[in-house]
Amino acid sequence: MSRATIPSSIVPPLLLAFALLAGQTTMVHAAAPEPANRVELTKMTGRWYEVARTPNAMQRACEAATADWTRAGAGYSVIQTCRRGTPDGPKKEWKASATPVDPVKNAKFKLSFFGGVMNQEYWVLDHRTDEGWLIMGTPGGNYVWLLSKAPQLSAAVRNQAIARIRQLGYDTSKLEFPQQVQ
């Protein structure tokens, strides 16, 4: 009987997928709440800076994390960047394509990584475009991120956004606050 082998080019994405799925739940309830507001898709473009996140294996020791959203056909091209250890540490990038899957609110996106080997839905749970932030999470409620259009949020705006994350049912005592470039 022959033994099937997995091509070595597939192993890193598979390990990454398993690591991402092995995180701990930090929700009070079992699933993320439905997105609160409609997302104007033009507001998704540009660079988003990571202000806070639930711990996850894929972003362990990740500092100065950003996500660059560029329109690409009916969806987006997304490049997520992370600096390992410090804001000026070695750079790691993940490329994805994002497609809106909720035409009513435009708040749910399917991201495909590694040419479709790994797919994950992300929801914009709430946002304040006038203050330049959004809260994104996975539908299962395992992960949440606070993203900002600026590298830093004022203390008052950051506290308001963290309070909103708590209202959505997440345990904010477990959030990580990665460093950003000043």
Question: 47: closest CA among 150, 169, 158, 175?
Answer: 150
The mean per-residue pLDDT over the stretch 6-18 comes to: 36
Superfamily, domain 28-174:
Calycin beta-barrel core domain (2.40.128.20)
pLDDT for res 1: 41
What are the φ/ψ torsions at residue 47 (nearest 5 degrees)?
Answer: -90, 135
Question: 73: closest CA among 100, 47, 93?
Answer: 100
pLDDT digits (tens, 9 = 90+) for 59-98: 889 999 999 999 998 899 999 999 999 999 999 999 999 9
How far, CA to CA in Å, does 94 sit from each of 16, 75, 104, 122?
11, 17, 28, 15
The mean per-residue pLDDT over the stretch 17-34 comes to: 51
Assign 30 a pLDDT band (cuts: 50, 70, 90).
low
pLDDT for res 165: 96
Tokens representing 116 are: 């479709």
Residue 13 has pLDDT above 70, yes or no: no
pLDDT for res 115: 82
Q: What is the dihedral of CA 111, 115, 116, 117, to 10 degrees?
A: -120
pLDDT digits (tens, 9 = 90+) for 105-150: 999 999 998 888 889 999 999 999 889 999 999 999 999 999 999 9
Angle, CA of 173, 176 and 178, to the nearest 5°: 155
- What are the domain boundaries of the chain? 28-174
Q: Cα–Cα distance between 53 and 142 in angstroms, integer?
A: 11
Separation of first and last alpha carbons in the chain: 59
